[in-house]
A and B are shown apart, each in its own frame.
Chain A
C-alpha cells in the first residue's frame, strides 16, 4: 500500500502574535485599548501551498511540526517567514518555502487593511492515502450444477482481457475491473464456452456463482463434455414450481427415457388413467393446463395413450411444472403451466443418437454448421400399431386402441454475436388411433377413429443489449387438425376441428436499479377454427357428465358446422423487487387481455335461412403477485395470488351442441408455502393452495333448454389442498424425490346445486422416485406410486328399454370412486462405451409386483352387476440408445 503525506494547517491568532509584532518593522499594533475600541479582523489564508514531505523523513515515518512567524503585508502577501520552533533543517526549509507562497486576505483594524505578523504551525504528518477507488472487484465460484461440487480449472474471462482460473474450491477473483457491463466467458479445455453479462460498479465487489452441468448423455471425445448453465436472476421466477433436468428425467423409471414423461411423477399432478396421458394439475381440467415449448403453446404434451411425449428427449433441456400462481407472462389457462425448455444450440461438434424399444424408434442430430450457425433435428416413429398388426390376429389387433404416432422437430440458429441470435424452428406431431369392436349384430358395432395432427413453426429473435437488457421476439404459426369418428351401431359421434393459430410473444426485460428488474411484453394468440360435429349432444362426454363406461351414447343426434375466431392480445408488465439484499423478492404483475370471440352462428341452421354470427369482446384484467422471502439461511416462505382467464373452446361454441354466447371463465389462485433446505442438495417444500373457478362451462341440466343453450356458463369450482416435495438433487450417485399431495377439487354445475367431486379429483397422490448410479455404467431406479381412484357416478340398478336395451339408474353424481391405485416400477440400465460413442440398454419394468389395479368400473348389460377393468399387469419394456 502506498503511503502519502498531507499537511494539516492550523492558523492561530494569539497574544504571541501581538508580541512578535514589535519585532517586525513597519507593523502596526493591534489589540484593544481601554479608551478606544479597535475592531481587529485577522488575516484569512486564501491560498495554501503544500510543503513537500522530506523524502528522508517519509521513509522513516517521521512526523514533525515547524512553528513559523509570518509577516503579512496590507495587501495580504507574505513579507517574511521565520522559524520560531525548528523541527530539523529539512522540515524547516520545506515549511518556509511553502509558507512564502501563501496568500492571505489581509487583516483589518477598524475596517482598514493592516500589516500583521502571525504565528503559524506547520504540521508534517504521515497518513494513509484516502483515494476513492475507481474500479470494481469480481469474485465467485463455479460449481457442478448436478453434484454442487466445486470445479477447478475453469477459466473465467472478461471482455477486458482479464482472466482468472478457478482454484480447488472452484473460486476465482479478478480485481480492478473497469466499471460497466462486461461479457463473462467461462471456458476450459473440457468446457463448452458460454457467455453471460455482469454489470460492475466502481468500488464495489460483485460475487457470482456459476453452475456447470455435465452432459453425460452425449459423449464427446473423452466423455467429459460440459454444458454451462449460468444462474441469473430472471423475472417471473415462479413461486411454486418443479423443474427436472433432462438428465435426471431420462433416468426415472416409467419414462423409458422419455424426458417429458417425468411430469406424471411431479407433485400436484394426478395419476392419469392408464393409456390416457391426461395431465391433471391441482384439480384443473387437462385442457386448462397450458403446455409451452420454449414459449410456443402446443395442444398436448403426450401422444395418444400417453406412451410418449411429442418432443424428442435429445432436444429437451428441462421441463418445469408450475401448478398455479404463475406470473403475468402467461395466461389463457385456469390451471397450471408446463414449460419445456429446449436445449441450447451451442454444440461445438456434431452429436446424435438412435434409440428404439417396443414402442418406438427415434433419431436425433445436432451440431454446428459454422461458427455462427447451429442446428438440431429429431424424428420419432411409434410402431405399436404395426407390431399389433404383425404379431396378433386381425381381430385382436383391431380391438386394442394402439396409436400410430410420429413426431419431428427441427431448429436452426444463427448467432449474430454471443448476445444476439435468431432461431427458426418447427415441430409436427401426428397421432392416429383406430379401434373396432365388431359385433355379429351390426347395430352394436363400435368403431372409433381419432386423429390429431398439429404443427408449429416459429422465429425467435433474442438479444442482450449493452446495458444487459434482454429482448425477445417470438412470432409463431400453428395448425391443428383433429378428428374423432365414433359409431355405436347407427349412432355417430363425429367431431372434426381444423384450426389455424397465429401467435406473437415479445418481451423486454431491464434492470433499472440493482434491486429491481422489470419486464414488459405482449402475449397474443388468435385461433381460427372450423368445426364439424354430428351425433349426440352428450357424446363425447364432457367433464361433469353422468357417464358410465361402455354405455351407448344417446340415440338422439344432430349436426352442425360452425367457425369461430378466438383471439386475445395481452400486454403485461411484471417487476421483481429484490429487497433486503435479495432475501425478499416481491413480484407484482398485471396482464390486460381483451378477448375477441367471433362465432359464425348464433342459432341452429333453419332451412336455408342465412346464419347470423356474433362478436364479443371481453376484456380480462389479471393482476398477479408473488413473493419469496428467505427468512433464514435455509428457510424461504412463499406466497402468490393471481387471476387467470380462459376463453371458451371453439368446440363449445356450437349453436346445436354448445352455446355461441360463451365468454371467458376465470380462476383465482392463492397459494402459500415454505421451503427448507435440509442440505445443499436436499430440499423440502410444502405448499398449500386454494383455487376458485367461476363462469365454468357446464351442461345445461334442463329438460326444456333454450335454443342454442346446450351449455351454460353457470358452473363454478374450487380446488384446495397441500402438496409436499422432498427432493434430493444429484449427490454422488443418487437422486430422487418424494412427492405427496392431498387435495380436493369440486365443481358446482349450476347455482343452487351441491358441489360434487371433479371428475379427475384425486385425494391422495404419492410418488417416490429414486435412481442410483452403481458405477461401471450400471444404473438402477425405482418409482412407486399410490393414488386415490377417480370419482365415478354409481349405478344403483338397471332397467330395460325394449328398444335400446339395458339402462342404468344412477346415484349421486361422482359419489363413488374407483379403488386406489398402487404400483411399483423399476429400471435397470447399462451404458457401454463403443469407441468414442456410448450405448445404453435399459429394461423398464412397469408394475413389478404385478398388482391388479382397477382402472375403470364396468357393468353388465342390464347394469345389475358391477366389475372392474384392471390395468396393466407386469410390463417389461426393453430399449436401447446409441449416442455419439
Chain B
C-alpha cells in the first residue's frame, strides 16, 4: 500500500538530491591574469625533436605578453599521485627542472630519455631491484613530457606529447603501429562567429552586438577525411610510406578532428579512432552558457556552439581554445562591444 501522491514523491526525490555549493567564479570568466593554453609545435615529437612552445596569456584587459619561462620537468610522479605531474615539478628551479628558454615562445628538444621517464620504455632497474614499471599511456595511446611554465609568480604545467611507440603489443601490431601511426597536428580554429557572422580579432574594431542579448557563438575547424584516400594530401592511419608515399613520405596531418591509429590494450588490436574536439570559451565580460563545448570523435560535425550573454555595455574580449584529445592546441581571439 502506498499512501503517497505524485507531488509527495517529487518532494521526497528533491530532498534526496545532494546539495552542492556555489564555488565562485566560472572557468570561462576572466577575472585576472591567466594562462589559458600552451602549444607545442609540432603537436607531437619524438625524442630529440625540436619543439616550439608558445602560450596564451590573458587578463581582463585582453591578451598579455608576460615573459614565460619554459622548462622541462624530468621527474616522474609517484604511482599514488592523483595529479598529472610530480609535485616537485612546481618549482622555479632545482633537480629535474631543465630550462628551455624564456619569452613569448621557446624551442626545446625532447629529452632523450623522455620515453623512459614518461613513456613505455622500461625504466632502468634500480640496483638490486626488479624490472621497473613503464608509464601507462592515456586513452589515445599518448605519452607526455611535462613542462614547468613560470610566468610572474605563477607556475603552471604544460604537456608536450611525445612519440614513443606502443607498449606490450604483439610484434606484428607494433610494426604496423610504427608504420602507420602519424604524429599529431595542432588543430586550427577556422572561425568564430556570433549568430553566424564572423567575429573580428581586432580589438580596435570590435564587433558590435546588442547589450544584454544572448548571442550564439560558433567555433569551427577543418574537416578531415572520414577515410584515407591516397593523394588527398593527408597521411591517415590506413596509410604508410610504403602504401602511399605520396601522402606519407613527409606526413601531413589535418588541422581538424584527425583520424589516428590506436592500440586497444583490451582487445589487443589496432583500431583507427577520430579525435574528440573540445573548445574552451573565455570572456572578460558577460557570461557563457557553458565553459566548454565540443564534439566526440564519433561526431563528424566541425563546429560547436555556445551562448554568450552580453553585458549591458562595454567591450568583451574573448578567446576560444580548441583542443584535440591528443594534446593538440589552437586558439583564436574575438572582440565584441556591447551597445
Contact = CB atoms under 8 A, between A and B. Distances in A.
A124 to B, nearest CB: 87
B78 A443 contact: no
Interface in B19-38: 19-25, 27, 34-38
B133 interface: yes
Given A442-B276, A860-B24, A706 B130 contact: yes
B205 interface: no
Nearest to B88: A703
Give the interface SS of chain B, mostly helix, strand, loop or mixed. loop
Given A443-B276, A490-B140, A555-B84, A878 B4 contact: yes
A800 B157 contact: yes
A216 interface: no
A873 B12 CA distance: 10
A710 B82 contact: no
Interface in A842-866: 855, 858-862, 865-866
A745 to B, nearest CB: 20
B131 A555 contact: no
Contact of A354 (B1, B122, B140, B325): B1
A865 B26 CA distance: 12
B171 A803 contact: no
A703 B87 CA distance: 11
A610 interface: no
Nearest to A847: B15
Contacts of B4: 358, 878
A705 interface: yes
Given A358-B9, A491-B138, A865 B23 contact: yes
A551 B82 CA distance: 8
A356 B2 contact: yes
B79 A441 contact: no
B12 A877 contact: yes
A102 B133 CA distance: 107
B232 interface: no
B215 interface: no
A442 B12 contact: no
Contacts of B17: 396, 399-400
B77 interface: yes
A559 B136 CA distance: 10
A809 B154 CA distance: 14
A390 B12 CA distance: 13
B227 interface: no
Interface stretch (A256-264, A600-608, A727-735): A600-608
Interface stretch (B99-107, B177-185, B240-248, B286-294): B286-294
B335 to A, nearest CB: 23
Contacts of B24: 860, 865
Interface stretch (A231-239, A500-508, A540-548): A540-548
Interface stretch (A182-190, A199-207, A694-702): A694-702
B90 interface: yes
Contacts of A880: 1-3
**Most chain A beta-carbon contacts within 10 A, residue among B6, B21, B80:** B80
Given A554-B82, A607-B171, A807-B83, A704 B123 contact: yes
A391 interface: yes
Nearest to B273: A490
A658 B292 CA distance: 36
A547 B16 CA distance: 25
Contacts of A865: 23-24
A604 B168 CA distance: 8
A490 B276 contact: yes
B159 A801 contact: yes
A882 interface: yes
Given A443-B278, A867-B21, A545 B16 contact: no
Contacts of A605: 168, 268
Interface in B281-338: 289-296, 299, 304, 306, 323, 325, 327, 329
A804 interface: yes
Interface residues of A, number: 98
Given A545-B80, A855-B18, A442 B295 contact: yes
A704 B38 CA distance: 28
Nearest to A532: B266
A582 to B, nearest CB: 50
Nearest to B293: A440
B337 to A, nearest CB: 26
A705 B10 contact: no
A538 B3 CA distance: 46
A84 to B, nearest CB: 102
Contact of B79 (A396, A551, A702, A807): A702
B85 interface: yes
**Most chain A beta-carbon contacts within 10 A, residue among B130, B138, B280, B293:** B138
B155 interface: yes
A558 interface: yes
A336 interface: no
A709 interface: yes
B149 interface: yes
A439 interface: yes
A700 B329 CA distance: 34
B129 A700 contact: no
A804 B306 contact: no
A437 to B, nearest CB: 11
A4 interface: no
B78 A702 contact: yes
Interface string A823-855: 000000000000000010100000000000001
Contacts of B204: none
A547 B18 CA distance: 20
A555 B295 contact: no
A859 B20 CA distance: 10
Contacts of B46: none
Interface in B132-170: 132-133, 135-140, 144, 149, 154-159, 168-170
A48 interface: no
A443 B294 contact: yes
A95 interface: no
Interface in A590-626: 604-608
A222 B19 CA distance: 49
Interface in B250-270: 265-266, 268
Contacts of A839: 1
A802 B38 contact: yes
A89 interface: no
B327 A356 contact: no
A808 B83 contact: yes
B90 A802 contact: no
**Most chain A beta-carbon contacts within 10 A, residue among B12, B82, B83, B292:** B82
B83 A608 contact: no
A610 to B, nearest CB: 13
**Most chain B beta-carbon contacts within 10 A, residue among A491, A800, A877:** A800
A870 interface: yes
B120 to A, nearest CB: 11
Interface string A633-670: 00000000000000000000000000000000000000
A872 interface: yes
Contacts of A877: 12
B27 A441 contact: no
Contact of B135 (A274, A489, A534, A556): A556
Given A556-B137, A800-B157, A607 B168 contact: yes
A384 B10 CA distance: 11
B79 A700 contact: yes
Given A442-B295, A872-B16, A703 B157 contact: no
16 contacts: A356-B1, A399-B17, A443-B294, A538-B82, A541-B82, A555-B138, A559-B266, A607-B169, A703-B75, A799-B155, A800-B34, A802-B156, A804-B84, A809-B90, A858-B20, A882-B1
Given A384-B16, A799-B154, A869-B21, 7 more contacts: A358-B12, A392-B14, A537-B79, A557-B139, A607-B168, A707-B133, A800-B157
| 10 A-B pairs with the lowest CB-CB distances in the bound complex, closest first | A441-B292, A867-B21, A860-B23, A556-B136, A800-B156, A440-B290, A699-B80, A803-B159, A440-B293, A802-B38
